[in-house]
Structure 1
């Protein structure tokens, strides 16, 4: 689910988080074109009014009901075109220099569709998981994000889902597929996915497997420790290291199910922004392909088939310019 939670496939790699200044523009004319008419404020899910939470959920369901813009891709709706794009480009957008900016702009396109196609008027939500990690004695599953009425439904129920084949390489972490979500607006009797797990194309429920033992990795202390890392090499290795439970891993692993699959995680993602992607601007470093040697630059072109026109990394570096035009309310 793209909605709010497949905190989607933000596999952070080859990106150096830092307090970066905006990327320079090539001309005054370009600056004028990219000037924002409005700076929107993205808010943490529980800081949004109940009215806007429900409106956001309705907008997501609206996008799921709209037909795909291009037939024959495997997507059954406009919503699933985001998942198809992510599945098809997985090897080009993870563990590479364009990882973070590509996913940032994916969020831009998704937010634009919610506003333009489904008329959502409220703030775009993000999940600050450290607020749940710091909440001692309260399980992750009791976070407001999993509320069955004003959230995205709860944990998967054991015995309600069987993997089509746990031996397929792209069906990663089969033990994380606990079961179908049976409550909330995206419960099994109301909603089906048609992509995943992995690169498979199967109709199935929204699957989760919340892992409470990983809550210790979601705290502010853990996050801030990673943000204090000085070198790019160490930072990259830490945030995407399963053993270190880096900040990218903690956007996926504690939720389990589809969210833990690098290819099809957008199918279970309910919010397009999370704390790791919203904390700061960042510099980009690293190869443009997995195991590649040519580093990306600010002029590297990123493509978004089915979703929108190509953009460069430079285009999305500055939150205060188009196509971003937003900030975060902490």
Structure 2
């Protein structure tokens, strides 16, 4: 009912047309997997969380205009609050920047291991996410001449994503006046001024740039995501295929989503959370992982893989459920096992499903 109400409000506001986004094969898989979740919960009651009380995470285009504006206003609020990490990262000017700092510092540990990509994959620049309206996450960047995106280690013709039609500053939508402060570290646009610090944590104010790219979006179609979930029963291969097997010329949906936005900082491996749309992309990553877990909850709630450092560089021990993960000064450290369970982790503080 909540989803129908949100869709109705969106229709009344002229945000989407009736039947614009029928369920895709991933949506259908998620829906057909819900009995498995309910059965597991019946056998394994969770502290402070039931299916009935779980929060429902909803796709962007299913939100009403007011709900979308509440989200973007919350981001703008974070960008108006003073940073907590400016002593270690002089470039951090806001609470929003604090999260970017944590990502930069933890990138070697957190990588390699919601927007519904398929809805907008054919024409992302015209989608409710990027059309530049007040109900969007901001528009494409102004059109400027620039090269494509090189993919290190990939064979030709997969070693270069052709450029999109943007590349310049975002001039429409809620973030048209946004200032990017941190990075770059690994830019995909060559015209970005360098950071005064090698670690990217110095002050480097500039505009938000995007190059919305339908070539990258092509690998985020639902058939790729469905195959990722259904064809990889082991977490190692699930993670590997999601990230991308670049030496074989195979992009993963994770990389495809990032390069759909591209620009600065979204196209920067380290600084990508500096574009607010990063958080919707990674909520979709979380949703896909959640649907993958639902296929075998007893086993997959306890599956971790690979070492504690990306590509085992520098060499490190294998990750475990008892490893600590945290957000520095922004949140206390918690064990990984608590983050694995969206239906009762952290003594019920994690209690959500995806619609």
Same-fold call, TM cutoff 0.5: yes
What is the rounded CA distance, in whole Å, between the counterparts of 2:172 and 2:329 in structure 1?
Answer: 31
- Name the count of aligned residue pairs: 261
What is the rounded CA distance, in whole Å, between the counterparts of 2:338 and 2:211 in structure 1?
Answer: 37
Structure 2 contact 137–276 (Cα < 8 Å) conserved: no
1:50 CA displacement: 0.9
Aligned residue in 2 for 1:5:
none
Q: How does 1:1-330 map to 2 (within 5 A)?
A: 34-36=47-49, 38-72=53-87, 73-74=89-90, 75-96=92-113, 126-133=114-121, 139-148=123-132, 149-159=134-144, 178-187=167-176, 190-198=177-185, 199-200=199-200, 201=202, 202-230=204-232, 231-241=234-244, 242=246, 243-257=249-263, 258-270=265-277, 271-272=279-280, 273-279=282-288, 280=290, 281=293, 282=300, 283-290=303-310, 291=312, 292-321=315-344, 322-329=348-355
Of Structure 1 and Structure 2, which has the larger fraction of its residues in helix? 2
1:70-113 Cα deviation digits (max 9, x unpaired): 442331111110001111121122224xxxxxxxxxxxxxxxxx
**Secondary structure of residue in 1 paired with 2:72:** helix
**Secondary structure of residue in 2 paired with 1:85:** helix
1:306 CA displacement: 2.3
Judged with a 3 Å threshold, the aligned counterparts in structure 2 of structure 1 residues 151 and 160 are, in CA distance, closer, same or farther, namely farther
Structure 1 contact 160–180 (Cα < 8 Å) conserved: no
Structure 1 contact 315–323 (Cα < 8 Å) conserved: no
State TM-score, norm by structure 2.
0.66
Question: Structure 1, unaligned stretches of length 5 or more?
Answer: 1-18, 97-125, 162-172
CA root-mean-square deviation:
3.2
Structure 1 contact 316–323 (Cα < 8 Å) conserved: no
What is the rounded CA distance, in whole Å, between the counterparts of 1:141 and 1:83 in structure 2?
Answer: 25
Structure 1 contact 155–210 (Cα < 8 Å) conserved: yes
Larger radius of gyration: 2
1:21 CA displacement: 8.0
What is the rounded CA distance, in whole Å, between the counterparts of 2:184 and 2:173 in structure 1?
Answer: 21
Judged with a 3 Å threshold, the aligned counterparts in structure 2 of structure 1 residues 45 and 181 are, in CA distance, closer, same or farther, namely same
1:310 CA displacement: 0.1
1:9-29 Cα deviation digits (max 9, x unpaired): xxxxxxxxxx8989x9xxx9x
Structure 2 contact 97–274 (Cα < 8 Å) conserved: yes
1:115-135 Cα deviation digits (max 9, x unpaired): xxxxxxxxxxx20011123xx
What is the rounded CA distance, in whole Å, between the counterparts of 1:79 and 1:193 in structure 2?
Answer: 10
Judged with a 3 Å threshold, the aligned counterparts in structure 2 of structure 1 residues 234 and 70 are, in CA distance, closer, same or farther, namely closer
Q: Which protein, 1 or 2, shows the higher relative CO under an 8 Å CA cutoff with sep ≥ 6?
A: 1
Question: Structure 2, unaligned stretches of length 5 or more?
Answer: 1-32, 147-160, 186-198, 294-299
What is the rounded CA distance, in whole Å, between the counterparts of 1:86 and 1:236 in structure 2?
Answer: 19
1:221 CA displacement: 1.0
State TM-score, norm by structure 1.
0.70
Structure 1 contact 302–312 (Cα < 8 Å) conserved: yes
What is the rounded CA distance, in whole Å, between the counterparts of 1:260 and 1:71 in structure 2?
Answer: 24
